[in-house]
Structure 1
Amino acid sequence: MTIRPLAGLTARSVGRELLAGVTLLAIAVPLNIGYAQIAGLPPTAGLYALIVPTIIFVAVTSSRHVVASPDAAAAALVASSVGGLAVAGSDQYLVMAMAQAIISGIAFVVMAVFRLGFLANFLSAPILVGFVAGLALDILVSQIAKMLGVPIASGSEFIEKLVQLVEGLPQLNVWALCISAGSLVILLVGRRWLRVAPWALVVIVVSTVVVSITDADQAGVDVLGEVTGGLPTLTWPILDWGTWIALVPSALALTLVTVAEGLLLSRSYGERHRYRTDPNRDLLAFGLTNIAGGASGSFAIGSSTSRSAAMEQAGARSQLPSLVTAAGTLLLLLFGTSALALIPSPAIGAVVAVAILPLLGIRELTRLWRVERGEFVVAAVCFAVTLLVGTIAGIAVAFVLALINVTRRAASAPVDVLAGAEDGGAILETAEPGTTTAPGVVILRLAAPLFFANAASFVGAVKASVGAAGTPVHHVVIDLESVTDADVTAAEAMTGLRDWLAARDIQLAFSRPREHLLPRFRRLGIISAEPVFATNRDAADALSTGAAPSAAGEPSA
């Protein structure tokens, strides 16, 4: 089945989609200029991302709603990683940012080829909330300084930025404060009054007019300055191999953040609007988009949650608004860059600050604190490491915590004692109502794959059940119905269990294995000559009556 991102477009919806495209253009231009500044790049790096990369993403993606663009998290990652290798704003810095996007794009393509779209489910929501909140707060401090006209050294760590902001407060620029305060009023009050209006564009236009009339730039208000016009040119970053290799960790971090956020966003919109999405195709789309971005003067591109939501609210049901944005940006670069020169930085700071406020995750963190303190601690750790140590450390800790979380849950998988073990003279649990078992028979079930993380705990549970039985045990039956896989470590653990039971004259048997897993269980040595019964009732009846066991490794009739 061919997936077409414009499939949701109809003759009746064209007008609405075109209007949504104009809204997206109005939102994207000031935000991308702001994100480029966060990344330490010229404004054109943000605008170029809206042309060739956007067209490629629309052509390849399976989503009708996700908007591909640089975002706050990507900009912060670029600034923190490339900032340690080159001076922000220099030509070498831009080349490195382009190379970083290309490396990230190649990583996406490799993941698509090997069909690794399932990795979108790996990062839990608390981990992602904590990581993104750390990035957002770091960016927010920078934008507050910009709104107040307080200079902050590029590449500074969070604590350094905070100290510089506080120390610079006595020198704040009154004009900058007034512009940013007015911008915030328009953005916050305007969104409550008419949510779908392009208030970011209104702020940029009004503040630029104010600067041009009052000559506020002569009073110390920082403005965007001259923006180079013209079409983006396709090029390839020229760097030595050592620099390419140095950019790999940060490029992979950018890739992983987009995998976690972009693919989940695509899936959620597909489920909500009842159309099919393909995570591996989306991986390919992000890969080709980033390669195109790096080759056309831009930087790392991911998914924009806020812009995707804005398009859904505007009634968009296809990727046509993104194409309108690409065309509008192209016209702006060809004929309208002179109008960008007097855009005041405090207004851009206000636009970016309001855009990233939801990324602080205050509502999500409050909910985690209320419903699950353990998950809140995980989010808080990711938040603190990202904010205080750095973004690369943050993403590393995020994935380590994800791995620990998965392993912990698998290692503590429930072991059901179906029959035979007693606690204070009472049978703990019987799986099938009405099933009776003979004295001396213990039946257990593991509700998870049997592998290295839980093999030892499962064997311990079997031994504990044998010890808890009220009568001497002569048979242990393991119900394999819920066991979906096993590995070598599990096989070795089962061999040790078999020897432990044999030393006590207890026979090990198996019940209800999945038929397609029998060859694997035999190959690993988990099932050999021991009887395997079709059901727990059969197991109990056979063992209580002394019936002959079934053929080695085969379920009985």
Structure 2
Amino acid sequence: MPPSVRFLPFLSWPAQWRAHGVRGDLVAGITVALVLIPQALAYAKLAGLPPQVGLYAALLPAVVAALFGSCGQLSTGPVALTSLLVAASIVPLAGLAGGDLLGLALLLALLSGLIQLGLGLMRLGWLLNLLSVPVLMGFVNAAALIICLTQVPPLLGLSMPHSQHLVLDFTQALGGLTAPHWPSMGFGLGSLAALVALKRLWPRLPGVPLVVATATALSAWSGFATSGGEVVGDIPRGLPLPSLPPPSPDLVAAILPAAFVVAMVSFMEAASSAKLICGRTRQPWRQDQELIGQGLAKISAAFTSGMPVSASFSRSALNYVNGARTGLSSLVTAALLVLTLLYLTPLLWHLPKPVLAAVILQAVAGLIDTGVLRRAWRASKDDGAAAAVTFLGTLAFAPNIQNGIFTGLILSLGLMVYRGMRPRAALLGLHEDGTYRDRERFGLPHPHPQLVILRFDSPLTFVTAATFEDAMLAAARAQDKVRTVLVSATGMNDIDATGLHTLAGLIERFHAQGQAIAFCGLKKQVIDAMERDGLWPRIAAQASYRTEHQALAALLPGLAASD
């Protein structure tokens, strides 16, 4: 790949247009715009921001992400999960910022974008892999449930207080059902039912724009706003004005942890879409380049009155299904948004807010996947515990849901270190298939009364050195007359200074006891480390064997001669 294309992916678009044409990009761009406009309004509401902020965030950020990202089918803009994180991050800091929620959202977009851009430029995208799938899915499922709880009251036309206790707020909001506003409830439940029916019965139809347009027309015709119903109201006409995040060190320090969570979670959402689409199109996906694209998109949102953005799984899938090949589809979508902001915003005045709640609920329902949590538990109790703790922690900390993912991240890393400290070590015996396997599992005898074979399935580092030492001492006592412990080291792919020190100490201790240590299957990188340390000349004579069979053929005659 030419360096220019590597750093400026949009330079590869003309070649793809010549090969596949531009019709797919044009159709996909128009289709996604029809869905994105009502979603952008809804997700701005979910973030606690004015509706036009969602439209602004879907404009320049989408163009920037398309130009500099590695996957042309990604549709970048406001998404439900990131919007919830925005609300959870900025609402608690409203007092510190003098009530300027938009300023906090701009600062959050800038910081999270800088984090992603920095990781991408330094080729450190692998750090995001520290967030395991069980932890991420535990968080996503809890966040989706929280979104549903926050949207049920507006769906029914009820007002919901916002405090530090989500369940109490939800319960208090439901108390309004004793005197419901029936038109609001009708719009909310009717729109949700229509969205679900269209998705199941006629999935190829653009359900969201159809329902939103119909509800808006009915609202205007019936006088919904004059009857006490809440509508979107006035959306400023025109393109977004340049903006500047508040340059307050105190605000930066307060919001930085949340910015890290937004950067991490939003990119995992983008990565899941990109991996799936690139796997189907057989196009290369470059994680670090996508970090750069998504980071620049967030930064552009910070300076154009937007909010933190990410790649939408549903809109990206819609982009792909409708034939998008390059980021031109996102440029077409942005062009339609420009037309909407310049000429069509008055048509959105009568859009009922319960309909926006229905749009959010219908979109977020697809995020709930309890099957992933069950599979994580079946695969590993540690993974299952990490997923469960993240899920429960996110619910418990709501609305400060970023604390939930921090809890799961710390737990999963702790469990990873704990598992790494206790690698598998097994004594081997000769199996009937001619290989040396776990003697305890298969009921195999030791290969010789004076020799045992220990297999150590881990690098020998400061994390595992104590376990290796204990296993070696136990192997030396496995039989009454053990004189040699043969270490099957095929699983030992690394050794550090602590491992070398431990091994040298064991060699001295075994020698003092009249015992010896031999090795088979040592890898080159381990031998190289031993040579640099000066340990290799002391053990080379009994450490150059490649297999257990070769080692026993050389060692057993010496043991027999000493009897």
TM norm structure 2: 0.88
> 1:401 aligns to what?
411
> 2:111 aligns to what?
103
Match of 1:168 among 153, 172, 176: 176
Going from structure 1 to structure 2, the CA distance change for 1:91 and 1:22 (only over 3 Å counts) comes to farther
Match of 2:554 among 500, 517, 542: 542
Is 1:490 matched with 2:494? no
Is 1:417 matched with 2:427? yes
Match of 1:209 among 173, 193, 217: 217
Match of 1:290 among 298, 323, 336: 298
- RMSD of equivalent CA atoms: 2.9
Is 1:128 matched with 2:136? yes
Name the structure with the higher helix share.
2
Matches within 5 A, 1:90-489: 92-368=100-376, 375-389=383-397, 390-419=400-429, 428-429=438-439, 439-469=449-479, 472-489=481-498
Is contact 2:73-2:324 (8 Å) kept? yes
Unaligned segments of structure 2, at least 5 residues = 441-445
Going from structure 1 to structure 2, the CA distance change for 1:524 and 1:383 (only over 3 Å counts) comes to farther
- CA offsets 1:467-526 (integer angstroms, 9 cap, x no match): 223x52222232333222223333343344334423422122333322234332344576
Q: CA deviation at 1:440?
A: 2.1
Q: CA deviation at 1:89?
A: 12
Query: What SS does the aligned partner of 1:478 have?
Result: strand
Q: State how many pairs are aligned.
A: 539
Q: CA deviation at 1:232?
A: 2.0
Is contact 2:27-2:323 (8 Å) kept? no
Percent identity over paired residues:
29
Q: CA deviation at 1:333?
A: 0.8
Is contact 1:196-1:314 (8 Å) kept? no
Structure 1 window deviating more from structure 2 (165-174 vs 520-529): it is 520-529
Structure 1 window deviating more from structure 2 (232-241 vs 130-139): it is 232-241
Amino acid of the residue matched to residue 539 of structure 1?
Answer: A
Going from structure 1 to structure 2, the CA distance change for 1:151 and 1:450 (only over 3 Å counts) comes to same
Q: CA deviation at 1:448?
A: 2.5
Going from structure 1 to structure 2, the CA distance change for 1:524 and 1:175 (only over 3 Å counts) comes to farther
Is 1:533 matched with 2:544? yes
Going from structure 1 to structure 2, the CA distance change for 1:272 and 1:527 (only over 3 Å counts) comes to farther
Amino acid of the residue matched to residue 463 of structure 2?
Answer: A
Q: CA deviation at 1:92?
A: 1.8
Going from structure 1 to structure 2, the CA distance change for 1:508 and 1:295 (only over 3 Å counts) comes to same
> 1:510 aligns to what?
519
Is contact 1:211-1:342 (8 Å) kept? yes
- CA offsets 1:63-115 (integer angstroms, 9 cap, x no match): 13322222112111111121011169987211111011111111112211332
Write the distance in 2 (CA, Å) between the matches of 1:79 and 1:474: 67
Unaligned segments of structure 1, at least 5 residues = 431-435, 548-557
Write the distance in 1 (CA, Å) between the matches of 2:304 and 2:533: 53
Query: What SS does the aligned partner of 1:258 have?
Result: helix
Query: What SS does the aligned partner of 1:80 have?
Result: helix
Going from structure 1 to structure 2, the CA distance change for 1:15 and 1:428 (only over 3 Å counts) comes to closer
Is contact 1:196-1:313 (8 Å) kept? no
Q: CA deviation at 1:248?
A: 0.4
Going from structure 1 to structure 2, the CA distance change for 1:223 and 1:68 (only over 3 Å counts) comes to same
TM norm structure 1: 0.89
Amino acid of the residue matched to residue 413 of structure 2?
Answer: L
Going from structure 1 to structure 2, the CA distance change for 1:332 and 1:503 (only over 3 Å counts) comes to same
Q: CA deviation at 1:199?
A: 1.0
Is contact 1:204-1:347 (8 Å) kept? yes
Query: What SS does the aligned partner of 1:533 have?
Result: coil
Amino acid of the residue matched to residue 447 of structure 1?
Answer: D
Query: What SS does the aligned partner of 1:83 have?
Result: helix
Write the distance in 2 (CA, Å) between the matches of 1:338 and 1:31: 17
Structure 1 window deviating more from structure 2 (86-95 vs 507-516): it is 86-95
Q: CA deviation at 1:244?
A: 1.2
Is contact 2:24-2:325 (8 Å) kept? no
